[in-house]
């Protein structure tokens, strides 16, 4: 994981653990629950480690990786699943990006409201 990224949440199939960055506790509970389910289901399906993070500019990135000796992890399937998750949850990720830009980067929200009109 790049040091310039800020991890929002992630799941680890090896340790059977879920992580949520408490810096983002202001996110509504329903969204936190959706992220939790998304991360855990991803790692149950594909294995390895799955992380949702923010780039410096606020864009959301989805990353997955696995231990070198994990013979069950399929890189191709994990890439396809990331594409599917990104497509199906596009609105969620756009909202998270906006949240990051407004509450973390302290950008002016009026610019984003004008784009929507």
pLDDT for 111 equals 72
pLDDT for 98 equals 94
pLDDT for 114 equals 67
User: What does the alpha-carbon distance between residue 39 and residue 79 come to, in Å, rounded to a whole number?
Assistant: 14
What pLDDT, in 10s, does the model give residues 23-51?
Answer: 999 999 999 999 999 999 999 999 999 99
For the CA atoms of the chain, what is the radius of gyration? 15
Closest CA to 43 of 14, 67, 69, 19: 14
Give the phi and the psi of residue 70 in degrees, each rounded to 5: -80, 100
CA within 13 Å, CB half, 23? 12
Tokens of 6: 């800020």
pLDDT tens string, the chain, 117 residues long: the values are 667 899 999 999 999 999 999 999 999 999 999 999 999 999 999 999 999 999 999 999 999 999 999 988 988 999 999 999 999 999 999 999 999 999 999 998 887 676 655
Nearest-5° Cα angle at 42, 41 to 43: 95
């Amino acid at each position: 994981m790049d040091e310039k990224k800020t991890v929002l949440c992630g799941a680890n199939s090896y340790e059977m653990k879920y992580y949520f960055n408490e810096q983002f506790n202001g996110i509504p509970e329903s969204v936190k629950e959706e992220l939790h389910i998304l991360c855990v289901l991803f790692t149950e399906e594909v294995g390895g480690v799955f992380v949702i993070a923010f780039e410096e500019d606020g864009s959301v990135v989805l990353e997955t990786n696995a231990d070198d000796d994990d013979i069950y992890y399929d890189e191709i399937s994990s890439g396809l699943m990331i594409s599917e998750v990104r497509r199906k949850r596009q609105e969620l990720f756009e909202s998270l990006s906006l949240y990051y830009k407004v509450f973390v980067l302290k950008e002016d929200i009026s610019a984003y409201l004008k784009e929507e009109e």
